[in-house]
Structure 1
Amino acid sequence: VGETEVFLTGRATAFLGEIITPGRATRGEVFEFDYYNSVTRVYWDDELVFWNNQMLNAQSGLSRLGLYDGYTHQGSFLIFSEKVNQDLADRLHDLLAGRPDIMASASLTLKNGIAVRLLGNRASHLEEAIYNCWGLARWQITGLPPLNLRKVGS
C-alpha cells in the first residue's frame, strides 16, 4: 500500500513513472502477491486534477481479458505542465501505437496533464517506451533533449 501526492503550481512540470511487475516470473512466481494498492493524487494550485486508486488482488485473475488481457506487466507515465495539450497526447499515442511488444495509449487528464498507460510482458519493453515518452514530452515542454539516464555496464 502506497500513496503519492504531488502539489504543483504556475510553471511547474512533473513527470512520474511506474512499472508494476507480476513477481519473479523467471522463477514461475507470477501474480503470487496477495494485494497491491497504490494511490496517486496530483494537485494544481490546490485543486485535485488527477486521482488514481489502483487496487490489485492477484487471486482475481489479473491476466484475464479486461484486466491485463494476457499481459504480465503494467506501466504508467504521468506528465503535468501548463504546456500539455492534445497535440502532445496524440504524439505520445502515435509513438506507442507503432510498438508490437506493448499495448499503450495516452490521454489528457482533467487539467494540465497526460496519463500514459501501458501493458506488456517485459519490464524492459515498458521502460524503453516510458523513456521514449519522457524524451518526447521533455522536448516539447522544455525544449531540452532527453538525458541519457541509462546505466552503463562495466
Structure 2
Amino acid sequence: MDCKLSITAGARDGKSYMKDVFVSAPFRVVPVGQTKSDGAAYLMVMSSSPGILDGDHYDLNIQVEQNARLQLQSQSYQRLFNMERGASQLMQVNLADGAAFSYVPHPVVPHENSTFKSVTKVALGDACEFLMSEIITCGRKYHGEVFKYSHFQNLIEVRHRQKLILKDNVLLLPELMPLAAIGLLEGFTHQGTLIYVNTGNQPVDELIECIYEMMQGEQEVQFGISKIRHDGFVLRCLGHGGEQLYDRFQRIQNLIWEESKVSLA
C-alpha cells in the first residue's frame, strides 16, 4: 500500500503553525504543543496500522518555511512485520532559511523475516538547524526473534545549498553479518544514531562536551560522538534497551531545542 504524508510548517508573527497537511491511510497528524509557549509547532504523526506491512511504501514530505520551527513526534514503536517482498520509505525534508526541524521517533522493531529500506533526503537553507535520530532494536527479544529480520537499511543524505555535507548509511543483514561480533554490535542488541547539523555558523564543541558528559553516566551503553566538517555531529550508541536510548535522545533533543530557543530570543 502506498502511504503518503505531507506537512508544511509556516511562521507568522513569531509563531510557527501547521500551514498545510495531506495524509492518506493510515496516517493522521495531531498538534500536541498546546501547553508550549516557545512559539514552535509540535506535531505528532499517528497511524491506524499496527506497523509497516509487506509491500508498504511510505512517502513522507516535510516542508519547514522560513523562520519556522517544527518538532515532529511519533506515536509509538514502529513495527516491521514478517515480509516476503519487503517495504520501503522515502522521507524528504526541506528547510528554508532560518528554519529548524527536530524528529526523535520511537525505536524500530523488525520482526522475523522483515525487509525494510529507507532513504531520507534533507535540504537545508542558511541558518538552519536539523536534528534526527533512529533506534533499531534486535527484534522481538522475548519472542526469541533476536536478529531474525532479513534486511534493514537507512540512508540519510544532508545537503546545504545542494551540496552534500553528510551521508550516513546503516545497513544490517543478520544472515550475512555476525552482528554480535567485534567490530559490529559486540554483544549489544540495540543501535541508535542521532544526527545534528546547523548551517548558521554555530560552533558545537561545547554542545558535544555537554552530551558526552550526559551519556558518560549511562549503564551498559557504549557510545561515540563524531564532529562533522560542518557545524554538527553524529552520535552513535549501542545498548540493550530501546527505551533507555530513546529517553537519552529525547534529553539531547530538549537540550538543543532549548538552546536554540534562547539563541533566537
Report the TM-score range of the alignment, normalised by the length of the smaller protein: 0.7 to 0.9
Q: CA deviation at 1:101?
A: 3.1
Q: 1:105 aligns with which of 224, 237, 245?
A: 224
Partner in structure 1 of residue 146 of structure 2: 30
Partner in structure 2 of residue 76 of structure 1: 193
Counterpart Cα distance in 1 of 2:212 and 2:247: 15
Counterpart Cα distance in 2 of 1:39 and 1:74: 15
Q: 2:181 aligns with which of 42, 61, 64?
A: 64
Deviations 1:53-112 (A, max 9, x none): 221110222112210011000011111113242111121111111111311232211212
Rg comparison, structure with higher value: 2
Counterpart Cα distance in 2 of 1:33 and 1:50: 28
Q: 1:40 aligns with which of 145, 156, 163?
A: 156
Partner in structure 2 of residue 92 of structure 1: 211
The aligned amino acid for 2:153 is: N
Q: How does 1:143-154 map to 2 (within 5 A)?
A: 143=262
Q: CA deviation at 1:140?
A: 2.6
Contact 1:96–1:105, Cα closer than 8 Å, also in 2: no
**Structure 1 residue 114 corresponds to structure 2 residue 228:** no
Q: Compare 81-90 and 22-31 and name the one that shifted more.
A: 81-90
Contact 1:41–1:51, Cα closer than 8 Å, also in 2: yes
User: Superposition RMSD on alpha carbons, in Å?
Assistant: 1.5
Counterpart Cα distance in 2 of 1:40 and 1:110: 16
| Larger relative contact order, structure 1 or 2 (CA cutoff 8 Å, min sep 6) | 1
Partner in structure 1 of residue 137 of structure 2: 21
What is the TM-score of this pair, normalised by structure 2?
0.52
Contact 1:40–1:52, Cα closer than 8 Å, also in 2: yes
Which structure: greater helix fraction?
Answer: 1
Q: Report the number of matched residues.
A: 144
Any unmatched runs of 5+ in structure 2? 1-116
Q: 2:248 aligns with which of 110, 125, 129?
A: 129
Deviations 1:13-35 (A, max 9, x none): 11101100111111010101112
Any unmatched runs of 5+ in structure 1? 145-154
What is the TM-score of this pair, normalised by structure 1?
0.87
Counterpart Cα distance in 2 of 1:42 and 1:70: 31
Q: Percent identity?
A: 24
Partner in structure 2 of residue 51 of structure 1: 167
Counterpart Cα distance in 1 of 2:144 and 2:258: 40
Counterpart Cα distance in 2 of 1:89 and 1:35: 32
Secondary structure of the equivalent of 2:183?
A: coil
